[in-house]
Amino acid sequence: MPLRVAVLGAGVVGVCTSIELRRDGHDVTLVDPQEPGGPHAASYGNAGWLSPASVVPLSMPGLWRRVPGMLTDPLGPLTIRWSALPRLMPWLLRFLHSGATVARVEATARALRPLLASAPDLHVALASAAGVPDLICRNGLLYAFPQKADFDAEALAWRLRQDNGVVWEELEGDALRLVSPALADRYRFGALVRAGGHCRDPGRYVAALAKYAESLGVRRVKASATGFDLHGSRLRRALIAGGAVECDRAVISAGIWSLSLAHKAGDRPSLTTERGYHVVVGDPGVDFPVPVQPSDRRVGITPTTFGLRAAGQVELDTIDVPPDWRRAENLLRNLQAACPVVPTRAPPTTWMGHRPSTP
């Protein structure tokens, strides 16, 4: 039976949800105060990886030993600001608990597999339907290591991938250079996941998906969602700034701002912001056919329509704290260390956004 559904938030999750609901025959209204695909959203600034290999959770056994380093190194790959620690402590304890044993991370990997295994194929089809097939590439994803021993040191992570159907090709020497000629000479071993893909412009992709959703009959409302009108346990309306949207169901997909809406719906999810940064070097002037993650740099380096983007790493803090642009500068240093032939003819562009993160 068709339902009236309000989708609150027009990032990549919200627009894809709207498309699928509309394809299923529902009456859909997509609510967001800003234009889809803009730099305000986490969907805009990510590394763009479509990765079946990302079944490995961030929280792994023994991570608790690194917490002191996270607190003392403001530029590390995973850092926590002292000022945010009291508020983050309940989330952080759940986060460490979720990866405390091998059995727990195995369960997480199994749960992630169905979300990721077919993602590249699904995005190829979706981009084609939205009229932007050029934005999705299927060249694979490369994980680069200085030596085979560095790959072997991550045995648990790669075993989790193998257990969940991820296949990779091991490359050494000249074979690695052929796949990624811009890599520094010190990288002598690589694992190439050929089933992976990437998006060449995540922001434009989300904007195109929103237009496609409208072509299917999804209505767009430019307003902030503020709450819900409930009659007992029955939803009657989603409240928005200056009005309401009549609906039988609502989907909360507002990124980190989902937390207050969830509270108003009677739910108490454990959610915090992973503050992510990126830096883009325009016109790198080198061939970079496959996105790469150097193991000793922990950044995703991705060719985009704007240039070469380095993104990744995690800063745990509150929404209202100003960006620490030293982290973007650090991403640039990591990019240049991993790919020293990349020039910086013009000042790179930088960005920071908020990824909603559960433990």
pLDDT by residue for the chain (359 residues), tens only, comes to 999 999 999 999 999 999 999 999 999 999 999 999 999 999 999 999 999 999 999 999 998 888 888 777 777 878 888 888 898 999 999 999 999 999 999 999 999 999 999 999 999 999 999 999 999 999 999 999 999 999 999 999 999 999 999 999 999 999 999 999 999 999 999 999 999 999 999 999 999 999 999 999 999 999 999 999 999 889 999 999 999 999 999 999 999 999 999 999 999 999 999 999 999 998 887 888 999 999 998 899 999 999 999 998 788 888 888 999 999 999 999 999 999 988 766 678 999 999 999 99
Q: For residue 236, give every residue at least 6 positions away whose Cβ sits within 8 Å of its Cβ, in sequence order, or none.
A: 229, 230, 246, 247
Q: Residue type at 234?
A: R
CB within 8 Å of 214: residues ≥ 6 apart: 220
Distances (CA, A) of 322 to 20, 78, 258, 315, 325: 36, 18, 20, 12, 9
156 torsion bin: left (phi>0), alpha (psi -120 to 50), beta (else): alpha
| Predicted local confidence at residue 319, as pLDDT | 86
Distance, CA of 192 to CA of 249 (rounded, Å): 42
Please state whether beta strands 141-145 and 292-294 pair in parallel, antiparallel, or not at all (unpaired): parallel
What is the chain's Cα-based Rg?
21
pLDDT at 345: 65
Q: Looking at residue 256, what DSSP letter applies? A: G
Residue 42's identity, in one-letter code, is A
The pLDDT, as a whole number, for residue 317 is 84
Give the chain's largest Cα–Cα span: 67
Contact by Cβ (8 Å): 264, 228: yes
Report d(CA 9, CA 46) in Å as an integer.
17
Beta strands 49-50 and 197-199 are: antiparallel
Phi and psi torsions of 62, nearest 5°: 90, 0
Sign of CA dihedral 26, 243, 211, 123: negative
Contact criterion met (CB below 8 Å) for 88 and 328:
no
Residue carrying structure tokens 């240049």: 336
| The two three-digit tokens of residue 198, written as one number | 């990437």
Residue-level pLDDT at 53 = 97
Write out the H or E segment, with its range, that includes residue 88: helix 85-98
pLDDT given at position 147: 96
345: left (phi over 0), alpha (psi -120 to 50) or beta: alpha
Beta strand pairing call for 169-172 and 189-193: antiparallel
The model's pTM is 0.94
Beta carbons within 8 Å of 305's beta carbon, 6+ residues apart: 135, 200, 201, 204
Which pair of structure tokens corresponds to residue 221? 């409302």
348 close to 279: Cβ distance less than 8 angstroms: yes
Q: Is the separation of the CB atoms in 136 and 127 below 8 Å?
A: yes
CA–CA gap between residue 250 and residue 265 (Å, rounded)? 10
